[in-house]
C-alpha cells in the first residue's frame, strides 16, 4: 500500500518543474570499481551509470506551490562480472532487501539540494562501495505579473518586480526614466519696445512641474513699420542732455537742439539719437513716448519729437532701472488652461514683466453632456452616440454595440407619449389571483365536508 501511494505521489510530482541532477558514479573502496554499472532512475527519468564520473540530467518535479516537496531515487544494480553478490544499505545503514529501491527525501526550496547515498558490500571480498546522487533543486519558476513598486518619472528611473508563485523568488527590473514630454510653447511675455520676451513650455506628464523657458529676442522683433527699433541703444547726442527719470514721474531733461543740419544717415552711429533743428522756427515737442521699457535691471528710454511740419528734431532721455525685483505675494494666471491645453501661472514682479516660479495649470479636460443617439444600432451594425463638451463645444462619440437596446429604446419613445403611472392592470391581475385562491379554498373545504 505504501509503495503504491509513493508511486502515485511521484507521478504527480513529474508534471510541471525541471531539476538538474548531478550524479556521481559509485565510488570504489579498497579495490577496483566493480560496482560502477547500474541504472539510476529519478522520478521517471532513467540514466545509465557506466563509469565513474558526473552525470547531469533534467527531471520534472512539481512543487504545487509548497515550500517543501518530496524527491525520490530508484536504484537498480546488476551483478559484477564475477557474479558476486552484494548487500545494499542506505545511508542510515538499513539494509535494502527489495529491488528496485525507492529512496525518498523531503527537500526545501531554500535548501537547494538533497543527497542520496546507497552503500554496497561485496559479500565475497567485503569491499564496500557507495553510489551517491546529489539533487540540486532549481525549480522552473512560475512568476506572476509585473508589479510596479516605484513609478518612473521624467528624470528618475522606476522599478518593477514579479514573484514566483511557487518558491517566492523575486525578479526585479529597472524601468527607464520617461523623459519630459513638453507641450507647445506659450508666450508668457511679449518682446516689446526693445525688451526681450519669454516663452514657456511645460511637461505634460502628471506630477511633473518642469518648465522650459526661452528668450524671444527683441532684436528679431520689428515694429509696425518693419524697423528694428530695439537696435537703438541708450546713447544720445550728448550725455549731459539725459537725466534719469522713472515712468511714475521725474525731472524734465534739458532740451537738446543741434544747430547743424542732420548728419548723413551713413555717418550716424546705429542707435544714436540726434536733435535736428529746422532753421527759422522754435521746436514744439510732443509728449514723451516710451521706446524701451525700463525693467528692474535694465534702463529704458523714451523720446519726443518736434511737431512742426517737416521738422525731425528729436529728444531722448533715460528711464532708470527700478533695481531689485519686488515680487507679488501670490501667483497670477499667465495663460488660462483650456480643455485640451495646459495653462501657466507664475509670480510677477510688481515693477516689470519678469516672472518666476512658473507652474503648469493642468488642462481642464472636456465636460461632456449626457449625449444623444446619433445613429441607432441594428442587428448587423453598431450605433453611434455623440457628446458635446459643455465648456468648449468639442464633439465626441462612442460606439453602441450591435443589437444593443440599453439607453436607446427610451430615446425612440415619442415625447408625446409620456408614462402615465396607471396601475389598473396590475390591480386587476392581483384581484384575479386572489379570487382563484379563495375559490380553491372553498372547493377544498367542501370536499372535506362531503367526505366527513
pLDDT computed for residue 133 by the predictor: 60
Tens digit of each residue's pLDDT (9 = 90 or more) over 408-428 = 554 443 333 333 344 554 566
pLDDT computed for residue 452 by the predictor: 60
Instruction: Give 419 or 84, the one with higher predicted confidence.
Output: 84
Q: What percent of the chain has pLDDT over 90?
A: 4
Reported confidence tier of residue 14, pLDDT bands at 50, 70, 90: very low
DSSP state of 331: -
- What's the rounded mean pLDDT across residues 166-182? 83
Answer whether residue 136 shows pLDDT above 50: yes
Tens digit of each residue's pLDDT (9 = 90 or more) over 15-44 = 223 333 333 333 333 322 333 344 444 444
Tens digit of each residue's pLDDT (9 = 90 or more) over 94-123 = 665 555 555 555 655 555 566 666 666 777
Q: How many helices (H) and strands (E) does the chain have?
A: 3, 25
Reported confidence tier of residue 240, pLDDT bands at 50, 70, 90: very low
> Taking the domains of the chain in order of start, what are their residue ranges?
2-136, 141-179, 372-409
pLDDT computed for residue 176 by the predictor: 93
Reported confidence tier of residue 288, pLDDT bands at 50, 70, 90: very high
Give the span between the Cα atoms of 319 and 292, in whole angstroms. 9
Instruction: Write down the residue that cell numbers 454595440 correspond to.
Output: 401
Which ranges in 61-204 belong to alpha helices (H)? none
Mean pLDDT across the chain: 65
Angle at 303 between CA 245 and CA 286, to 5 degrees: 110
Answer whether residue 363 shows pLDDT above 80: yes
Reported confidence tier of residue 54, pLDDT bands at 50, 70, 90: very low
Answer whether residue 442 shows pLDDT above 90: no
pLDDT computed for residue 398 by the predictor: 85
- The model carries a pTM of 0.32
Highest mean pLDDT of the ranges 45-59, 62-76, 206-220, 303-317: 303-317
Q: CA nearest 76: which of 64, 88, 84, 66?
A: 88
pLDDT computed for residue 8 by the predictor: 37
Amino acid at each position: 500500500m505504501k509503495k503504491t501511494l509513493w508511486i502515485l505521489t511521484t507521478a504527480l510530482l513529474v508534471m510541471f518543474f525541471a531539476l538538474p541532477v548531478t550524479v556521481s558514479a559509485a565510488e570504489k573502496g579498497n579495490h577496483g570499481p566493480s560496482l560502477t554499472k547500474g541504472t539510476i532512475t529519478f522520478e521517471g527519468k532513467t540514466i545509465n551509470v557506466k563509469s565513474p564520473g558526473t552525470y547531469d540530467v533534467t527531471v520534472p518535479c512539481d512543487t504545487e506551490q509548497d515550500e517543501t516537496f518530496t524527491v525520490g531515487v530508484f536504484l537498480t544494480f546488476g551483478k559484477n562480472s564475477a557474479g558476486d553478490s552484494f548487500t545494499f544499505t542506505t545511508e542510515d545503514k538499513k539494509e535494502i532487501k527489495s529491488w528496485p529501491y525507492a529512496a525518498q527525501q523531503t527537500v526545501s526550496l531554500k535548501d537547494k539540494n538533497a543527497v542520496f547515498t546507497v552503500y554496497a558490500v561485496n559479500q565475497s571480498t567485503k569491499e564496500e562501495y557507495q553510489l551517491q546522487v546529489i539533487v540540486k533543486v532549481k525549480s522552473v519558476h512560475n512568476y506572476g505579473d509585473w508589479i510596479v513598486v516605484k513609478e518612473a518619472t521624467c528624470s528618475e528611473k522606476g522599478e518593477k518586480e514579479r514573484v514566483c508563485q511557487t518558491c517566492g523568488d523575486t525578479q526585479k527590473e529597472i524601468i527607464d526614466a520617461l523623459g519630459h514630454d513638453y507641450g507647445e510653447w506659450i508666450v508668457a511675455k511679449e518682446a516689446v519696445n526693445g525688451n526681450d520676451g519669454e516663452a514657456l513650455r511645460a511637461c505634460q506628464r502628471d506630477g511633473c512641474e518642469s518648465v522650459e523657458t526661452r528668450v524671444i529676442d527683441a532684436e528679431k522683433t520689428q515694429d509696425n513699420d518693419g524697423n528694428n527699433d530695439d537696435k537703438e541703444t541708450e546713447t544720445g547726442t550728448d550725455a549731459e542732455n539725459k537725466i534719469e527719470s522713472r515712468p511714475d514721474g521725474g525731472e524734465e531733461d534739458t532740451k537738446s537742439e543741434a544747430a547743424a543740419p542732420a548728419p548723413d544717415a551713413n555717418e550716424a552711429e546705429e542707435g544714436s539719437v540726434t536733435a535736428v533743428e529746422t532753421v527759422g522756427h522754435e521746436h514744439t515737442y510732443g509728449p514723451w513716448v516710451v521706446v524701451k521699457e525700463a525693467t528692474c535691471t535694465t534702463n529704458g528710454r523714451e523720446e519726443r519729437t518736434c511737431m512742426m511740419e517737416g521738422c525731425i528734431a528729436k529728444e531722448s532721455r533715460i528711464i532708470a532701472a527700478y533695481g531689485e525685483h519686488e515680487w507679488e505675494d501670490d501667483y497670477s494666471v499667465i495663460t488660462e488652461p483650456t480643455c485640451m491645453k495646459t495653462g501657466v501661472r507664475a509670480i510677477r514682479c510688481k515693477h516689470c514683466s519678469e516672472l518666476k516660479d512658473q507652474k503648469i495649470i493642468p488642462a481642464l479636460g472636456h465636460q461632456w453632456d449626457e449625449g444623444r443617439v446619433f445613429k441607432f444600432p441594428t442587428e448587423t451594425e453598431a450605433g453611434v452616440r455623440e457628446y458635446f463638451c459643455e465648456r468648449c463645444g468639442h464633439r465626441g462619440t462612442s460606439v453602441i454595440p450591435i443589437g444593443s437596446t440599453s439607453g436607446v429604446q427610451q430615446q425612440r419613445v415619442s415625447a408625446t407619449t409620456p408614462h402615465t403611472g396607471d396601475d389598473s392592470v396590475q390591480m386587476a391581475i392581483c384581484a384575479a389571483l386572489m379570487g382563484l385562491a379563495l375559490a380553491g379554498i372553498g372547493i377544498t373545504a367542501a370536499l372535506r365536508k362531503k367526505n366527513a
